[in-house]
Amino acid sequence: MRGAIAWSFDLLEENEKILFRRLAVFAGGFTIEAVESICSTDEIDALNCLTSLIENSLIVQTETAEGESRFRLLEVVREYAHEVLNSNGERNLIKQKHAAFYLAFAKEAEPKLYGEQTTKWLNRLEEEHNNIRAALSWSVINDVKTAISLAGAIRRFWILHNHLKEGRKWQELALEQGNDVPADAHFKLLHGIGQAALYQGDGETARKIFEENLARGKAANDLRQIALSNRGLGGAAKQKGDLAAARKYIEDGLKISREADDKFGIAVSLNNLGDLARMENDFKAARSLLEEALSLSRELGNKEGICGSLNNLGAAAYGEGDYKPAHAHFTEAIAIGQKLGDKVSVSYSLDGFAALAVKKRNFNCAAQLAGAAEHLRESLGFDTEPAERLFREAYIIELHSATDGKSLTEARGQGHNLKIEKAVKLALTIGKQN
Condensed to tens digits (0 to 9), the pLDDT of residues 208-229 reads 999 999 999 999 999 999 999 9
Please give the pLDDT value at position 54: 87
Instruction: Look at residue 156 and tell me whether its pLDDT is greater than 60.
Output: yes
Per-residue pLDDT of 301-353, as tens digits, reads: 999 999 999 999 999 999 999 999 999 999 999 999 999 999 999 999 999 99
Instruction: Look at residue 433 and tell me whether its pLDDT is greater than 60.
Output: no
Instruction: Look at residue 56 and tell me whether its pLDDT is greater than 90.
Output: no
Instruction: Look at residue 162 and tell me whether its pLDDT is greater than 60.
Output: yes
The predicted model scores a pTM of 0.90
pLDDT bucket at 434, cuts 50 / 70 / 90:
very low
Domain count, the chain: 1
- What are the angstrom distances between the C-alpha of 24 and each of 38, 41, 111? 11, 16, 30
Does 136 reside within a domain?
no
Helix axes 420-427, 363-380, angle to 10 degrees: 140
CA distance 31 to 61: 10
- What are the angstrom distances between the C-alpha of 233 and each of 194, 241, 245, 251, 360? 10, 12, 9, 11, 39
Domain that holds residue 12: 2-89
Does 51 reside within a domain?
yes
CB atoms inside a 10 Å sphere around CB 389: 14
Please give the pLDDT value at position 422: 97
Instruction: Look at residue 427 and tell me whether its pLDDT is greater than 80.
Output: yes
CA distance 423 to 402: 22
Contact 298, 333 (CB under 8 A): no
Instruction: Look at residue 423 and tell me whether its pLDDT is greater than 80.
Output: yes
Please give the pLDDT value at position 105: 98
Does 428 reside within a domain?
no
Please give the pLDDT value at position 1: 64
Among candidates 337, 336, 370, which has minimal Cα distance to 353? 370
Please give the pLDDT value at position 13: 85
Please give the pLDDT value at position 354: 98
CA distance 100 to 25: 13
Does 60 reside within a domain?
yes
Whichever domain contains 31, its CATH number is 1.10.10.10
Q: If residue 11 lies in a helix (H) or strand (E), which one and from where to where?
A: none
Instruction: Look at residue 379 and tell me whether its pLDDT is greater than 70.
Output: yes
Of the chain, the percentage scoring pLDDT greater than 90 comes to 78
β-bridge partners, 60? 72
- What are the angstrom distances between the C-alpha of 296 and each of 214, 224, 262, 265, 269? 25, 18, 10, 10, 11
SS3 content of the chain, % helix, strand, coil (to 5): 80, 0, 20
Does 301 reside within a domain?
no
Please give the pLDDT value at position 287: 98
Mean residue pLDDT of the chain comes to 93
Contact 30, 23 (CB under 8 A): yes
Q: For the residues 266-276, what does the mean pLDDT come to?
A: 98
pLDDT bucket at 242, cuts 50 / 70 / 90:
very high
Instruction: Look at residue 170 and tell me whether its pLDDT is greater than 90.
Output: yes
Please give the pLDDT value at position 42: 67
Q: For the residues 164-185, what does the mean pLDDT come to?
A: 89
Contact 243, 279 (CB under 8 A): yes
Alpha helices (runs of H) in 128-222, residue ranges in sequence order: 129-142, 144-153, 155-160, 164-177, 183-199, 203-220
- Give CA 163 to chain center in angstroms: 6
Instruction: Look at residue 380 and tell me whether its pLDDT is greater than 80.
Output: yes
Q: If residue 178 lies in a helix (H) or strand (E), which one and from where to where?
A: none
Does 97 reside within a domain?
no
pLDDT bucket at 403, cuts 50 / 70 / 90:
confident
User: What is the end-to-end Cα distance of the chain in Å, rounded?
Assistant: 61
Instruction: Look at residue 402 and tell me whether its pLDDT is greater than 60.
Output: yes
Per-residue pLDDT of 340-371, as tens digits, reads: 999 999 999 999 999 999 999 999 999 999 99
Please give the pLDDT value at position 103: 98
Q: For the residues 91-108, what does the mean pLDDT come to?
A: 96
Q: For the residues 365-386, what does the mean pLDDT come to?
A: 96
CA distance 62 to 70: 5
**Measured at the alpha carbon of residue 140, what is the angle toward residues 138 and 144, in degrees to the nearest 5?**
120
Please give the pLDDT value at position 62: 87
Among candidates 166, 218, 217, which has minimal Cα distance to 192? 166
Instruction: Look at residue 432 and tell me whether its pLDDT is greater than 70.
Output: no
CA distance 367 to 353: 10
CA distance 404 to 402: 7
Residue 86 amino acid letter = N
pLDDT bucket at 40, cuts 50 / 70 / 90:
confident
Does 78 reside within a domain?
yes
Q: For the residues 6-31, what does the mean pLDDT come to?
A: 87
pLDDT bucket at 89, cuts 50 / 70 / 90:
confident
Please give the pLDDT value at position 341: 94
CA distance 290 to 271: 5
Please give the pLDDT value at position 74: 86
Contact 252, 265 (CB under 8 A): no
